Structure 1
């Protein structure tokens, strides 16, 4: 089987297959331009005044997210490995199935959310009640669920082509929407004078911003492994996850603050952008859906020890469509809070293992003598999740720091966890 055609699911990406900064940036921006981020921004915008609360939440949340993804993305570029393969070092050959299952489930969950949302919101935009026409809604979910995986089936090149077309169009629509909201609010003075209508804790709000893409960000190595240099991976990650994701959150938040509507669809309708809103919604979700199912295929290939990424992509799309039919879209906020708690420690373990245990140098994955279980990694992940769950402040950040600290201590106290020792 041609590894190039399958995007090297079980091996390092060779330098001959690496991509340019522009290519990588377009793919990652297409990934982060996601309707769920605007929905989350809408919930935040309805709960905080514009200055300084809302601005600080958006900046801090996306800066943390961008820095986190950049750190992991650089490792992907240096090693040429995706997150599923990197997890083998941090968790062990068998232990890596734990983050594989968790990350695979979250990506399938997002795919189901996006598929259901596309069907439901499209019907609402054209004036059809999705609840009263459930049969039509379910039929659209099946159509979109199978259609969205097409570019992911092609591979990186398919993601790149779609992003090159859709990203500029989505940026234009966001600018138009923000301009209309700015005018309707009466400029900066009008925006700062608007009062929130809902209540939400600052820590919860930042966790929601972080949680919108912490699962996808943890798997950003699936694309940054194609970067020609670590520096390109860092810049592309910051551009997509700090600026791109921040723009999506800000658009949803400002729209909610101005129109008192946390639902981005209602905001677009109020702005007279119904037709453009349909186009934006379709492109917005498609560019994220194909990346999401691509993430699942990377995890699935590792879990099933197969290089047939295209087959795994189809299987994932079918499962995700099933979740859409179960209406996973009705549980966005709880889903985001769970992601912000239980996903970041995985990245903490990967970073700690690469920099603290292996000193920034992994052997070739095919030649690595890896233990079945890396106890240090599993322990660090478990305690990182516990800290994120029970501590106040910013749970994602708490979980990452805790996982790194616990891993560093565990490696020092357990000789079997050091490189070259205890390998099966």
Structure 2
């Protein structure tokens, strides 16, 4: 089991050239990664607080920033072949990397449980099936693809991405028609107003925490060009599409989730299909990433940890959904500084050159931990766009602290 695990998941080593993937497999994998129900909810919030032209400008700016952040991480991952968790060993130190691995992994398990519940509730409402039966079956299926690894994630994406895109477009087209056409959509005036800074913050915040885990998937790309281009495609196409579905749904029906819009349109079966696939493509990626993170800490096989994490997220799904949402939103603020430190360490401190993983660095590099704390404080207390504040605060402070301490 250990040998098969190393061959296919590369949790504790770089992905070899023979296991790298071409453009289309990576494109489907990355777009499936960004097909996230929370992005639709964020799109609905933007749709109800902005005119449609303001909405378009906001998601273009927000996804440009997200694309720049995740695309840079993808470049590093493709060049090194390393996951997010292994990359943190260089900046945080071998044992210091346990902190970002724990934060990233526990957040993904939390979102996995919430995702299971987001599917179970409407499914139970429509079918009348016992809620716990739905939770357990959904949890097992989503855990299975994460257990099977990157191949299963890719196969699922090849099924889910076209289905979500087609069904979502059909539903959104119907919604626009019910409003009176595209001209009415462009003339829409929101009841409330949302500032541009707040709107961009919502756009960034919807996926910047998940985007920090981009290296876990981009490391499988055959070339740096494929890694970066498919990541940019995912955030400009996949994430923007989710925002668009959410905004149109909220404007036309008051519902941001496309599955809820489809329920109101009488498309019950397509709604359940799109809801299930949308959550599945995100949840299996979240569970896969959490397995990599805890493997970095425990050195146990990723597959074993995926099963444990999946069971934990499934059993706690109802509790997580009812009690953990605000805590998860706080945890989301703790993740972007990690990515900023990875970027600063690779391009500035190490000048794009990493040695062998076994020789990576000290046990703990306190420069990274202090910079991470500064990034978190910038997100919490500096006015403006919290995710952007955290990125800049962590990245700049890491470079300054590293130069001062290493020079000394």
Contact 1:214 1:339 in 2 (8 A): no
After superposition, the Cα gap between the structure-2 partners of 1:74 and 1:416, relative to the gap in structure 1 and judged at 3 Å, is: same
Distance 2:407 2:307 in 1: 40
TM-score using structure 1 length? 0.91
Match of 2:357 in 1: 365
Of stretches 294-303 and 33-42 in structure 1, the one that deviates more from structure 2 is 33-42
Q: Which 5+ residue runs of structure 2 have no aligned equivalent? A: none
Confirm or deny that 1:156 pairs with 2:150: yes
Give 1:420's aligned residue: none
Q: What secondary structure is seen at the aligned counterpart in 1 of 2:359?
A: coil
The aligned residue for residue 404 of structure 2 is 413
Partner SS, residue 149 of structure 1: helix
Question: Are 1:30 and 1:288, in contact at CA under 8 Å, matched by a contact in 2?
Answer: yes
| Partner SS state of residue 384, structure 2 | coil
Deviations 1:303-335 (A, max 9, x none): 1012x1110110110121133121426765x46
Contact 1:208 1:337 in 2 (8 A): no
Q: Which residue of 1 aligns with 2:238?
A: 244
Flag the 1:108–1:275 CA change in 2: closer, same or farther, 3 A.
Answer: same
Q: Does 1:389 align with 2:380?
A: yes
2:262 is paired with a residue of what secondary structure? helix
What SS does the aligned partner of 1:19 have?
Answer: coil
Q: Is the 8 A contact 2:110 2:324 kept in 1?
A: no
Which of the numbers 44, 51, 73 marks the counterpart of 2:53? 51
Deviation digits for residues 41-64 of structure 1 (CA, Å, limit 9, x no counterpart): 222222222122x22222222221
Quickly say closer, same or farther: Cα 1:232–1:34, change in 2 above 3 A.
Answer: same
In the alignment, is residue 72 of structure 1 matched against residue 63 of structure 2?
no
Describe the SS at the equivalent of 1:326: helix
Shift of the alpha carbon at 1:205? 3.2
**CA gap 1:396/1:245 in 2 versus in 1, 3 angstroms:** same
The CA distance in 2 between the partners of 1:358 and 1:65, in whole Å, is 24
Segments of 5+ residues of structure 1 without an aligned counterpart are 418-424
In the superposition, the TM-score normalised over structure 2's length comes to: 0.94
Structure 1 CA distance, aligned partners of 2:251 and 2:192?
A: 10
Instruction: Quote how far apart the aligned CAs of 1:150 are.
Output: 0.7
Corresponding residue for residue 105 of structure 2:
104
Preserved CA contact (<8 Å) 1:6 1:310 = no
Coordinate RMSD, CA, aligned: 2.0
Shift of 1:199: 5.4
1:321 aligns with 2:314: yes
Could you tell me which residue of structure 2 aligns to residue 40 of structure 1? 42
